[in-house]
Amino acid sequence: MSNNHHNTNRLTSAEMGKLWVAYTGNTMATCVLSYYLQHVEDRDIKKVVAKALKLSEKLVNNIRDIFMQEKFPVPIGFTSEDVNLGAPRLFADEFYLHYLKYTSKAGMSIYAIAIPIMTRKDTRNLFIETFHETEKLINEVNDTLMKKGFYTPPPQIPIPEKVDFISKQNYLNGFFGDIRSLHALEIAHLYDDNENNTASKALLIGFSQVAKNEKVKKFMLKGKEITANHIEACSQMLNKEHLPTQPLLDDLVTTSNFAPFSDKLMLWHKIDMFSMKIRSYANAASLNGRRDLGVMHGRFMVDIGKYVQSGANIMIDHGWMEQPPKATNRKELTDNKE
């Protein structure tokens, strides 16, 4: 007996959602990377940017094919109208590498979570292939960062002398009493937080310089303030343990105030990436053992939640926010019954 509820030929809600967000995000990426490619002089960095652009274009085309095959309305996403390839340079070549690492980590997170919940083999294979290609891209980005001397590695700590066990409740202390030093996982996530936020802050500086709409400009400036506060808080945690932090990337932004991107694209980009920060901070909170770190990451998530909501309101007010696929509203159907 057939069961229509488990028809593997139709796209499931999970497949619709993940394909929709991957398509929209990568149409944005093709605009941004196409512009970067117009203003890159270093041959090694140009090669990496071109590879990233090719990967985004390939994914957009593959998803569009699936949508058309399923008679699924293809999202508008972002088009040539959202980028001005003739705009002056806004960022230095080095920034492109930091940007690609920052955004590729977010992409890998989306693709990795998608793979286990894909029902159809074609969509699952698409995300598996994209995940592996993005993994290769990040490796190439890291290799190029190290080759150019732009890479700041995570802090070094001593190798343990022996296997040990936690024996006292004060292991969880963070505000008062005997506070232990940071363990490796906590350091790793503080490092990752700062790596993401230094790239995010430079991007916000650039976007705030070129935004035309006053509300969008204020949104970018507010994001810069939030990000600077988060960088300072994470850096203080590391510095208390005499551990180094990454340098800021603010100087990699030029003085141009000529917009290469539409306000819609810049606003959506930062809403999207700040939303991904919530996941990153939640991962950090789940792997820490000190109360002060847990409270700090919890506060970060509240900051981001309020900020993303304010950005979404601007998108909605301007008619820029596309509707993701949604379930049937049964109440609405009932209320509208004649």
The pLDDT score that the predictor gives to residue 258 is: 97
Pick the closest to residue 92 from 157, 130, 147, 42 (CA basis).
42
pLDDT at residue 175 tops 70: no
Predicted confidence (pLDDT) per residue in 68-79, tens digit: 999 999 999 999
Q: Which residues contact 11 (CB under 8 A, 6 or more apart)?
A: 19, 66, 70, 72, 120, 123
Q: What are phi and psi for residue 41, nearest 5 degrees?
A: -105, -35
Predicted confidence (pLDDT) per residue in 19-31, tens digit: 999 999 999 999 9
Average pLDDT over residues 220-248: 96
Which fold does the domain 10-151 belong to in CATH?
Answer: Ferritin (1.20.1260)
Contact 312, 145 (CB under 8 A): no
* Average pLDDT value over all residues in the chain: 91
The span from the CA of 299 to the CA of 305, in Å, is: 10
The pLDDT score that the predictor gives to residue 165 is: 74
CATH 1.20.1260.10 maps onto the chain at 10-151, 175-324
Q: What is the DSSP letter of 87?
A: S
The pLDDT score that the predictor gives to residue 319 is: 95
Contact 88, 258 (CB under 8 A): yes
Distance (Å) of CA 238 to CA 67, 194, 232, 241 = 47, 10, 10, 5
Taking 3-state DSSP, the helix, strand and coil percentages for the chain, each rounded to the nearest 5, stand at 70, 0, 30
The pLDDT score that the predictor gives to residue 6 is: 45
Neighbours of 76 (CB within 10 A): 12
Predicted confidence (pLDDT) per residue in 90-119, tens digit: 999 999 999 999 999 999 999 999 999 999
The span from the CA of 234 to the CA of 239, in Å, is: 9
Predicted confidence (pLDDT) per residue in 116-167, tens digit: 999 999 999 999 999 999 999 999 999 999 999 999 999 999 998 888 776 6
The span from the CA of 233 to the CA of 134, in Å, is: 30
The span from the CA of 233 to the CA of 194, in Å, is: 10
Predicted confidence (pLDDT) per residue in 293-320, tens digit: 989 999 999 999 999 999 999 999 999 9
Q: Does domain 175-324 have CATH number 1.20.1260.10?
A: yes
The span from the CA of 122 to the CA of 192, in Å, is: 33
Predicted structure pTM score:
0.92
Contact 130, 59 (CB under 8 A): yes
